[in-house]
Amino acid sequence: MNLWVKKKIKKYLRKLNVETDTFKTISPEVANILARNTDPSQVESFVAGLKKQGAPAWFENTTTITSKEIFQHNNKPLPCWLERDYNPQDDWLNHPSYYPLYFNLFKSFSKNSQQVNLLEIGVRSGYMSAVFAKAVKCPSNYVGIDPNLYLPNGLDYAAATCKIMNTANPQFHYMLINGYSWDSKIMKSLELSPKYDIIHIDGDHTKTGKLIDLHLCSHLTNENGIVLVDDFLHHQFIQESVYLAIQAGWYKKVFYVDSFRGMAILQ
């Protein structure tokens, strides 16, 4: 198979949201987890317990702000704001418990911090970078990883957005990486970089991909850092992946935030 055809196949699989393990670097720890059978009733009990426990004590969802306010600068939409993303049947773009909730989460977590570093796996057009840049008042660093296939030219929108945010707030710095979080070279560079305070996982939407990201990120956070797992209630395999990560001891704590599609917070 020539390289051009292989790239076309990869792109086609990404569009269908179907991904294969042949493209991934799978650690022995993740392989061992994948080889196990999971009891669905245990996952259901785990999720029910999380919902009952709720959000961490430090989270304050108190600032009233809308998505349109977040994604505007000088009364103009930021480049990340794409009208094509508006869907009245599934309006994640404007829902008050999505980006406005993330704004409050970043604001709460960064309170009294000297500096905050965020890693995002799955950038799309850069929405979360703008939320982070506006919510955090201390010096901040954003690193985003995305293969730039799910949304063609998504990293271009993200770069343009981050540039505006940096101009508006020189304390905000950013770096965008075109690639996959499971790529061995990217994994190695992340492991050698400074630890992160916040990691947002919204990349590969398969059980294998989610477990790879969860295992990787367990080594990338600092002692008090948090890992945010988006779409927790939107896909059953994400609930299962978080459950398995906790069972494997990759994380010590887990919380639940009642966001638009549910969010798990791991430490």
pLDDT digits 0-9 by tens, 42-84: 999 999 999 999 999 999 999 999 999 999 999 999 999 999 9
The pLDDT of residue 21 is: 43
Q: How confident is the model at residue 150 (pLDDT cuts 50, 70, 90)?
A: confident
Beta strands in 17-122 (DSSP E): 72-73, 76-77, 116-121
- Torsion angle in degrees (nearest 10) through CA of 256, 260, 261, 264: -20
Whether 22 shows a pLDDT value over 90: the answer reads: no
Task: Find tokens 């494997």 and name the residue.
Answer: 248
pLDDT of residue 25: 72
Nearest Cα residue to 99 out of 261, 264, 265, 237: 261
DSSP E strands, 103-236? 116-121, 140-146, 172-178, 196-201, 221-229
Residue 72 CA, chain-centre distance (Å), reads 22
- 21-266 CATH: 3.40.50.150
Q: Is the pLDDT of residue 147 over 50?
A: yes
**pTM score of the predicted model:** 0.89
pLDDT tens, 156-207? 999 999 999 999 999 999 999 999 999 988 998 898 889 999 999 998 889 9
Per residue in 88-140, pLDDT (tens digit) is 888 999 999 999 999 999 999 999 999 999 999 999 999 999 999 999 999 99
